[in-house]
A and B are shown apart, each in its own frame.
Chain A
């Protein structure tokens, strides 16, 4: 079955360390997204990519970086500049590069904590 795979499910980061969260999709979707969710809150957009080799900052991009070298992959790096990285990170994708009423498909998330 097609879907989005995020790994690892749990991740721990030491102070001053960069960590990379993986997101892979086999849905042949053009657009991919990274969201952050804090306890009891809704999702906030970090970065998005409408097509390979292109990506744009979302609402809370500071302290994060991404790449989109392949259509199926959209890794997110949480850098040491992100001072409050503890959160639940969600990757999503959608079919059209300019989504209108297309639903988004989500992975099961990565929970990042600080040691």
Chain B
């Protein structure tokens, strides 16, 4: 999987929006952008994914730059339960990567009451 770069940590206040950036300058045309998050002592949880267009679901929104070299995960109103490590991952559509996820260091999000 191609490499992604994320800030080590970010902070937010409760009920404010959070924008988590991810750079992926070596992305190829068939790489999907996936986001997962992991709470302490739990398994990762799928958040959202996209290819070219912006995506919305009940958890978050994903804004993808026009050149696809960067993306931003948007949590519209942060809650204390959103405090977690957020991982941005690129996945090849098909191919021989046998579906494994390559996790980097991720961004530690702290949410203040």
When A and B form their complex, which 9 residue pairs have the shortest distance between CB atoms, in order from nearest? A42-B103, A106-B43, A99-B99, A103-B46, A100-B93, A101-B32, A45-B100, A43-B103, A90-B43
* Residues of chain A with a CB closer than 8 A to B94's CB: 98, 100
B82 to chain A minimum Cβ distance, whole angstroms, is 18
A and B contact pairs by CB, cutoff 8 A, 17 listed? A31-B99, A43-B101, A43-B103, A48-B99, A88-B41, A90-B44, A91-B43, A92-B43, A92-B101, A96-B99, A98-B98, A100-B91, A100-B92, A101-B32, A101-B49, A106-B43, A111-B41
* Residues of chain A with a CB closer than 8 A to B87's CB: 42
- The reply on A58 being an interface residue by CB < 8 A is yes
Q: Which residues from 88 to 110 on chain A have a C-beta closer than 8 Å to any C-beta of chain B?
A: 88, 90-92, 94, 96, 98-109
- Tell me if B's interface is mostly helix, strand, loop or mixed: loop
- The reply on A33 being an interface residue by CB < 8 A is yes
Are B99's CB and A33's CB within 8 A? yes
- The reply on B51 being an interface residue by CB < 8 A is yes
Are B43's CB and A33's CB within 8 A? no
Kindly state the interface size class of chain B when it binds its partner.
Answer: 20 to 34
- A35–B99 Cα gap in the complex (Å)? 12
- Given the interface pairs A42-B87, A100-B94, the reply to whether A109 lies near B43 with Cβ below 8 Å is yes
A58 to chain B minimum Cβ distance, whole angstroms, is 7
- The reply on B19 being an interface residue by CB < 8 A is no
- The reply on A18 being an interface residue by CB < 8 A is no
- The reply on B7 being an interface residue by CB < 8 A is no
Additional pairs, 6, CB under 8 Å, beyond known A98-B99, A101-B32, A103-B34: A31-B99, A43-B101, A48-B100, A96-B99, A99-B98, A100-B93
